[in-house]
Chain A
């Protein structure tokens, strides 16, 4: 199969309907290509050929019986290894869950397979989704297919790389403070963080529960919209999953963005933004203007407090969520038993990597007696102010356009020694995460060195339609559709 690496969902479905290839052949090709490339890119932690072939055979049998394809019928999908897949290992990129076999399927996984998707592998990521470069994985770093000596971004680095490298047409990632949008930007693909509550978190290993989201990566906005349409919607198994209507996201991509008002927050175009990134985003804004959008300057005055707020809240929630890995229920237990407390402490010390440990310590500290009000509660109040900034902005604009990251993909090892600097680089994505808004990273050109740059479009709660419509019109205008 010559063109596997560039296939879109539409092309896959045309190929299956016309009999150019079967879903079985396609699944076989997905596994062959991904396994061959994995030595170099390390974007997968493990593969699931049996599950993939079973799903593909179901699709082929249904086609043979004259049934039509589901919206993802026959489409190979890679899934971040923090999302539960029953009967398959789900490692979260951590030693502590290295041999853990998931007890159940995440709702998103169940919905993908019901729509005919062929899940064939689980992708590499920063341990428990904590990181911005994928260098915190217990299973090694991932290389960026666009520029192999550089990081793919994180934490969903493997899922972004799988799509960018052509190993999977679409994939699932997760985004807590930018973990879909930033790697999409670094790798030059489309990545969507849905509104908090749009996609069920059931079966997503909890990192920071008030911020975690599941969302798609794809090579086109249309494909991302198709996957989002499949996984979105109410789920009784997640009490934070909103009971609001989902739209036909594909149908919304009509190219008509005339008259939409786009806010450009002045705080996002300040110190620290790489000159080439700024230039590309400004070109992007001009393109949107030429499509009939009105560009207006807005202010999100509490932006400068977002990194501090985010890293207090996410570490607090993480320290509570990760308490469950204590050597009792989840496979790994230290061989040195001792007392119960010693067993807990040794198991956790052996199982968690440095960044996860750092966040557990910080989170435990800010929740501890005497510091709770000064740090955690203070951050929750600052979060209210940040959310109010966005609420106010969306009363006057339809969308907000910003960079995704202050700089393009950096070299492997370049930033590992300075955790705070790594945290500060999440500023453009984590601010809207605190407010719960939806966001997308859409390719917007390259630096002079050929490093991909993503443009972020943010929209109000549950207004994915406007965001996707703008991203799609932009993609067509910029000529970034898969050739």
Chain B
């Protein structure tokens, strides 16, 4: 499976990652190698197989449910504590709306 630098650039944009040209070249090579290997899965006939998203074990389906009851959570001050920039009870980010 051929992975072009253009594709890696596009994926990096989707993933919000700024990559150097050197890194893009390296990752396109790595991706190509890994995706060629995973093509192995195409040997499997999975037409009638259900996809598995989570480990399923024998038990009562709702046994991990909890009551829908409100409980205390972080206060604003605590939630903002590790933010690089905050103020007036909010996370601050670069301006996104032009006046």
Contacts and interface: CB of A to CB of B under 8 A. Distances in A.
Interface of A: 100-101, 103, 195-197, 210, 234, 236, 239-244, 302, 304-305, 307-309, 311-312, 319, 323, 326-333, 337-346, 348-349, 352, 357-358, 360-362, 364-365, 368, 375, 377-385, 387, 419-420, 423, 435-436, 461-462
Given A344-B16, A358-B30, A308 B93 contact: no
A15 to B, nearest CB: 39
Contacts of A420: 30, 33-34, 37
Interface of B: 7-8, 11-19, 23, 27, 30-31, 33-35, 37-38, 40-44, 46, 49-60, 63-66, 74, 78-79, 81-85, 91, 93-96
A305 B44 contact: yes
B18 A349 contact: yes
Contacts, number: 175
A364 B35 CA distance: 13
Contacts of A384: 49-52
B19 to A, nearest CB: 6
Contact of A101 (B41, B74, B82): B82
Contacts of B57: 195-197, 242, 436, 461-462
B31 A309 contact: no
Nearest to A99: B82
B16 A312 contact: no
Nearest to B67: A236
A352 B82 contact: no
A354 B17 CA distance: 12
Given A210-B53, A239-B64, A309 B12 contact: no
Nearest to A418: B33
B32 to A, nearest CB: 10
A180 to B, nearest CB: 17
A319 B64 CA distance: 26
Contacts of B78: 103
A240 B51 contact: no
Contact of A332 (B51, B79, B84): B84
Contact of A357 (B27, B35, B58, B95): B27
B64 A240 contact: yes
Nearest to A380: B51
Nearest to A367: B14
Contacts of A346: 18
A196 B93 CA distance: 38
Contact of B41 (A239, A244, A308, A338): A308
Given A357-B27, A381-B46, A305 B41 contact: yes
Nearest to A337: B94
Contacts of A349: 17-19
Contacts of B8: 361
Given A311-B38, A461-B58, A243 B83 contact: no
Given A346-B18, A357-B17, A210 B54 contact: yes
A322 to B, nearest CB: 9
Contacts of A319: 15
Contacts of B42: 378
A436 B38 CA distance: 21
Contact of B17 (A360, A385, A435): A360
A301 to B, nearest CB: 11
A338 B18 CA distance: 13
A364 B96 contact: no
A342 to B, nearest CB: 8
Contact of A381 (B12, B14, B43, B49): B49
Max chain A CB contacts within 10 Å: which of B42, B55, B83?
B55
7 contacts: A101-B82, A197-B57, A240-B64, A242-B63, A328-B84, A333-B84, A368-B11
Given A100-B82, A210-B55, 10 more contacts: A197-B57, A236-B66, A242-B59, A327-B84, A328-B84, A333-B85, A349-B17, A360-B15, A364-B15, A387-B52
